[in-house]
Amino acid sequence: MGRLRQLSARREGEPALKLLFAGTPAPAVPSLEALLASDHEVVAVLTRPDARSGRGRKVSRSPVAERADAAGIPVLQPRSPREPEFLGQLADLAVDCAPVVAYGALVPQAALDLPRHGWINLHFSLLPAWRGAAPVQHAIMAGDEVTGASTFLLEAGLDTGPVYGTLTEAIGPRDTAGDLLDRLAVSGAGLLVATLDGIAAGALEPRPQPGDGVSLAPKVEAADARVDWALPAHVVDRRIRGVTPAPGAWTTWRGERLRLGPVELVVDGPALEPGEVLVTSGDVVAGTGNGAVRLGQVQPAGKRMLPAADWARGARPAPGERMGDE
């Protein structure tokens, strides 16, 4: 659990806020849960439209929509928050504030201007570090030892608004992006509620972000998750953990895609060429630019994830055979 700072809690008897909550994926659900349990009133939820997902490509609602349905809260799903119909609905709701967690679309100025306290974004980084769609993934890939979450007043610029509060979270040496995001989603929910409490009490003023320390965290695409075995072993390890579970690290094996789970560094391991596979004493190791890594779970195309040793018994790598070769 991280450390909250810059916040003042709402005093007993202070008025609660009438809210529109905006969010879409699972990491936004703890914040919605925390707001539903708070003194604030969530009168509607804004989330992305139902979409096809999974192997069966079935149409499904977002995790936030599912939670709102269970709570009996109206769900708004415009294709774009720029649609006049949505702007009219937002005006009719007359909310005080719109907390937003990973909604997934840009909010236009016309919508930003409607709530009297604006839109308060929970972002999973210590702003101004890692502005953008994938802050957790980039923090791990960069080798950061500490990250956190920030609440800030949403502006038209990319995560540039003034900050209300922050919390810090250590990045463990084996953390994947999924592990870290799970923790931040829970601790960040508390930060978001504390921020809204402080706003309701009139006890918080946001502070402009410093000009130094700005870094960007664009969305990580599947092409970015392909393993470059020529990189140093510690960089390969970080990149794989940073893209796990999504979009998921991958390489090629005999011309087909092979998905990879997290790997471990091998101290004093065998000298191997980048991508070269060696099976020894039940372990499956692969060469990198400056050492070897031990494979964990792998997933051949069209099959389930399985231990690397099980995969190797079927694949039977030949001496000198490499992953990543076309």
pLDDT tens, position by position, 61-117: 999 999 999 999 999 999 999 999 999 999 999 999 999 999 999 999 999 999 999
Assess contact for 256 and 300: CB atoms under 8 A.
yes
Q: Which residues of the chain have pLDDT under 50?
A: 1-6, 8
| C-alpha 296, offset from chain centre | 23
pLDDT given for residue 281 in this prediction: 81
In whole angstroms, give the CA distance from residue 118 to residue 298.
45
In whole angstroms, give the CA distance from residue 25 to residue 62.
6
pLDDT given for residue 2 in this prediction: 38
Q: With 0.75 as the threshold, say if the pTM is over it.
A: yes
pLDDT given for residue 225 in this prediction: 97
pLDDT given for residue 282 in this prediction: 81
Burial string for 26-64 (b: 16+ CB within 10 Å, else e) reads bbbbbbbebbeebebebebbbbbeeeeeeeeeeeebbbb
**Per-residue model confidence as pLDDT tens digits over 175-197:** 999 999 999 999 999 999 999 99
In whole angstroms, give the CA distance from residue 122 to residue 318.
50
In whole angstroms, give the CA distance from residue 118 to residue 115.
5
The 10 Å Cβ neighbour count of residue 236 is 25
pLDDT given for residue 325 in this prediction: 78
